[in-house]
Amino acid sequence: MTRSVLSIGDLSASEIGAVLDLALESKRRSGPRGSELAGKTALLIFQKPSLRTRVSFELAVSNLGGRPLYLSPPEVGIGERESPEDVGSVAGRYCDLIVCRTFDQTVLERLAASSGVPVINALSDWEHPCQALADVLTIREHGGTSGRCLAYVGDGNNVARSLAAAAAGEGMHVRLASPAGYELDASSVEDAALRARESGGSVSTMSDPEEAVFGADVVYTDTWTSMGQELETKQRHEAFVGYQVDVNLVAKASPDAGVMHCLPAHRGEEISDEVLDGPQSIVLDQAENRLHAQQALMAWLFG
Ligand code: CP
């Protein structure tokens, strides 16, 4: 069966656990890399810019013995030059895996339905599952997941959606603080809560950042204005006043709390320089873990 990972919901909590176990084992092990993608080609279709996702996927494919083939935003033209079905059915004749960053989740679904090969979501407007795998891996390394509290402060966006489900499935107590109109949708909160009920975790939503962060073990934020939302910048800046993760907010968390951000950051907006560059910041481990998590995901899919 061809397994695609278009959202965190495509992986059960125990499957995420298996992928993260593999990632930790591979990260600790020195010596030969895997061969799960030997002789295989992964097509990396990016309709948006990227540093972390593109570099980590290219390296991860190579580390597993495969060949990455990158298509940049102007080269692709999905939906303009060709339909997702035409791109998918042709790409499936050349390649063994498609990794795609796109605006629209349905593009991923259409590529998966037409290509006959696994498709991995490298970010859509709806989900960022590979980011969430790396995030939970990072939390595992920094004190563990089960029973610990994760406070997400900011936009109820794609990153929040994937993170809440992945962390809840690991038994974390997830608190989401967003201003009115920017909350994570109720259905996604319920999906995460369902995972939490099975793992012993919990999910709660609120508007007060201090309430979310109080005593938390991890404080997480993301940009207020994501790629494609630039026209909303002014209204978003007004809505998110009081939601900056700064030293005063972090002081409400557990004294050894880790601070996370998926990057790129808009310094001085959702997070202060002092916190992003400070001793509690674990954002570089988080960025590095994109490589380990995605490598493990592909090894698991093809192993
Ligand atoms: N966090 C993340 O997806 O970074 P890039 O946009 O640089 O890939």
Alpha carbon of 50 to ligand 1 centroid (Å): 5
Pocket of ligand 1, candidates 48, 53, 133: which has the most ligand atoms within 8 Å of its Cβ, to mutate?
53
290 Cβ inside 6 Å of ligand 1: no
Pocket of ligand 1, candidates 50, 124, 130: which has the most ligand atoms within 8 Å of its Cβ, to mutate?
50
Quote the pTM value.
Answer: 0.97
Q: What is the mean pLDDT of residues 71-97?
A: 94
- At 127-160, the pLDDT tens digits run 999 999 999 999 999 999 999 999 999 999 999 9
The model's confidence at residue 226, banded by pLDDT at 50, 70 and 90, is confident
Pocket of ligand 1, candidates 48, 120, 262: which has the most ligand atoms within 8 Å of its Cβ, to mutate?
262
Q: What is the mean pLDDT of residues 270-283?
A: 98
Active site residue 237: no
Active site residue 131: yes
Please give the pLDDT value at position 229: 86
53 Cβ inside 6 Å of ligand 1: yes
Active site residue 262: yes
DSSP code per residue over the chain: ----BSSGGGS-HHHHHHHHHHHHHHHH--S----TTTT-EEEEEESS--SHHHHHHHHHHHHTT-EEEEE-HHHH-BTTTB-HHHHHHHHHHH-SEEEEE-S-HHHHHHHHHHHSS-EEES--SS--HHHHHHHHHHHHHTT-STT-EEEEES--SHHHHHHHHHHHHTT-EEEEE--TT-SPPHHHHHHHHHHHHHHT-EEEEES-HHHHHTT-SEEEE--SS-TT-GGGHHHHHHHTTT--B-HHHHTTS-TT-EEEE-S---BTTTB-HHHHTSTTB-HHHHHHHHHHHHHHHHHHHH-
**Which residue in 54, 128, 161, 236 is the catalytic one?**
128
Q: Which atom of ligand 1 sits closest to the CA of residue 122?
A: 3
